[in-house]
A and B are shown apart, each in its own frame.
Chain A
């Protein structure tokens, strides 16, 4: 895809200008950094990780089943299951990083990628858009300074037709996508520090973070923000529980399944720009998100996406601690 600035880009840059730091801004920042540098030997601090409470899967499933069956009649099975998970998740001691260990999370994701025809560098292609499924494995290591190392291994994509595959490789999109590479960075910070755990405050914070004018139903927008909070292992048990309870209050949730490990699968149907979709997610008994998928029910003739295709699909392994910072793949 050509990296060429268009008129919108130039207008944005013109409007934003190039503000420069004042001398006092620079001196203050430099002083703070030098103080940190000089104090580095004293920075490292130890944390004592409390042991995990050993829950047995059988007991949890039994508890979930009882709650689902006996919860008051006005509560949906999905809401009952989520609230019970919230109660359990609140009592689980959190995984915590130490000076020697990291909280490790691994996920596998596929997501639809779209390349406009003009982005194919002149490679002959009949349709307006080339759509493909990108695949990646993402690993994160949460350290004890609230920092995260993230590695993304970009796997070979899959295609809806041979023509799509030929155009993709002929245009060198695999190189742009860095297929076959593992990209490691440390730019992602956990953000649970900024989320309140008081239900009313958290509800307000989630609503403030929602996008409300792109045509998605409110419960879906709410859910997207809430799932961001519980997506990986960074949220505290209190925050995880509070978030799940708010999710349980949403309208339109359907309980699809509770598997033998106590993982509950919930779905919600909605429509986005005339395309019917289903968002499905699974929560384990510690309140961790383990599966999330958006399926497009209808065929999308604009982008030539077959009916029933997953717009995005992710699975997460159970988070654990590790001393190994090398990618597991």
Chain B
């Protein structure tokens, strides 16, 4: 579908080209489908992430003629579409569950230190979900886009359609509220294995 995944052409150039040559859009899919899937899985679970990721690229293709071509990287734009797609899904499917962060660590071996670690992780995830649910949607989305997806403040601003400075204040406020609600966060994190090591998506 996309032999130019690693070419020097920016996403903006490819999307522009896809206006006349629609199959070019396949390169955008090849470049970013995995990241969009990961983002969706982290937010709504792997059960629906496949459908959401697919829907994001269908919407993106329909919307491509309005893409802001001053932005070389289309990922924040795709995350923005995913954000809304997930919102629709959350409203219609998971309205009552209020789950904002899905536990995906592969630490399931029973009877091992990792199994204990998993129990701690599940408990922490439950507590974090409860506190994430108390945040405003804007604060929560900003925090998770920064913490989980590694977007810059500027990219989050594009994704959420807000000023960059507001992104910073939202993240700061979200951290403060969760820190106040879970005062033993430091100790919990310390119990997790290598909490400072982060695997890139």
Contact = CB atoms under 8 A, between A and B. Distances in A.
Interface of A: 1, 3, 5-22, 25-26, 28-30, 32-34, 36-37, 40, 43, 111, 113-116, 119, 134, 136, 143, 145, 147, 149-150, 152, 154, 173, 175-179, 183-189, 191, 193-194, 205, 208-209, 211, 213-214, 325
A9 B185 CA distance: 11
B105 interface: yes
A216 to B, nearest CB: 11
Interface residues of B, number: 87
B119 interface: no
Given A33-B54, A114-B169, A177-B164, A15 B103 contact: yes
A208 B161 CA distance: 25
Contacts of A177: 163-166
Contacts of A193: 88
Given A8-B185, A149-B66, A178-B157, 10 more contacts: A9-B147, A10-B189, A17-B104, A17-B105, A32-B58, A115-B169, A175-B164, A185-B161, A188-B84, A194-B88
Contacts of B134: 211, 213-214
Interface string B2-41: 0000000000000000000011011001000110011001
Contact of A150 (B91, B124, B159, B161): B161
Contacts of B77: 185-187
Given A19-B46, A173-B165, A187-B161, A145 B62 contact: yes
B128 interface: yes
A175 B188 CA distance: 37
12 contacts: A6-B175, A11-B128, A15-B101, A16-B101, A33-B25, A34-B26, A36-B61, A114-B172, A173-B165, A178-B157, A178-B164, A186-B63
Contacts of B46: 19
B56 to A, nearest CB: 9
Given A8-B175, A11-B192, A15-B105, A113 B49 contact: no
B105 A29 contact: no
Given A15-B125, A20-B37, A1 B1 contact: no
Interface in B132-185: 133-134, 136, 143-144, 146-148, 152-154, 157-159, 161-166, 168-169, 172-173, 175, 178-179, 185
A28 B53 CA distance: 10
A187 B92 contact: no
Contact of A115 (B54, B95, B165): B165
Contact of B91 (A10, A115, A194): A194
Contact of B53 (A29, A43, A114): A29
Nearest to A129: B169
Contacts of B144: 12
Contacts of A30: 1, 26, 29, 33
B129 to A, nearest CB: 10
Contacts of B1: 30, 34
A18 to B, nearest CB: 5
Contacts of A32: 54, 58
Interface in B34-77: 34, 37-38, 41-42, 46, 49-50, 53-54, 57-59, 61-63, 66-68, 77
Nearest to A136: B163
A175 B178 CA distance: 28
A214 B180 CA distance: 14
B165 A14 contact: no
B131 to A, nearest CB: 10
A29 B84 contact: no
Contacts of A37: 22-23, 25-26, 61
Contacts of B162: 152
B36 to A, nearest CB: 9
Interface string B98-112: 000111111000000
A46 B26 CA distance: 27
Nearest to A154: B163
A211 B200 CA distance: 32
Contacts of B103: 15-17
Given A10-B198, A15-B124, A40 B22 contact: yes
A208 B96 contact: yes
Nearest to B84: A189
A34 B178 CA distance: 43
Nearest to B28: A33
Contact of A1 (B121, B125, B168): B168
